[in-house]
Structure 1
């Protein structure tokens, strides 16, 4: 459930034009993610897409704004402005590069690991 909420958060983000540092298609980085489809975006068990600081997931879109690099880490802190079935909402999140993709850290120390689609 927390992972689905995170995907919704991430998928609601938008930003300025140009390539973002974490651009790509992702799926959960755990065994259940092996059955996810990396070709389809925004569908049940479809890939999560991060492009130009816009994150798309099932039923949501997030805009990542005001990026701040995290000293000593390959990570960026963002203000995420999201929309998913209703009013927009906002949250601070950090995206960090991992060996297999990215980790997304949000309020409450919730961490979601996403593997880059190959």
Structure 2
């Protein structure tokens, strides 16, 4: 019993601070439509033409505001799964890192999240 409890503690990685739900944009929050707009809400991240369900959150040792996920995505007639790292900067920017790419998005506090 004790060995099982110790194993469970060792396997459970603490989850880092998750970026704030909201709308973010890579260029201009005031534009009515933007292909650089991202909505983060709960376990979903929605891009211009795709969306992902974020699962298995893991903290990144030494990075206080970073969480690594498996992203199960769908868009433009395709389904895929990839590792995705979400982190926030002190100014509230959302950083999204995938395999071979990274993007920075500024918060858009005047926009309400829409997950349609």
TM range, normalised to the smaller chain? 0.5 to 0.7
Q: What is the TM-score with the length of structure 2 in the denominator?
A: 0.68
**CA-atom RMSD in angstroms:** 2.1
Structure 1: gaps spanning 5 or more residues: 1-19
Structure 2: gaps spanning 5 or more residues: 1-16, 110-116
Shift of residue 34, structure 1, vs aligned partner: 2.5
Match of 1:3 in 2: none
How many positions carry a matched residue from both structures? Answer: 90
Residues 1:101 and 2:99 aligned together:
no
The equivalent position to 1:54 in structure 2, one of 28, 44, 54, is 44
**Contact 1:36/1:46 (<8 A) preserved:** no
- Which protein shows a greater Rg? 2
The whole-number CA distance in structure 2 between the counterparts of 1:45 and 1:106 is: 18
Q: What is the TM-score with the length of structure 1 in the denominator?
A: 0.66
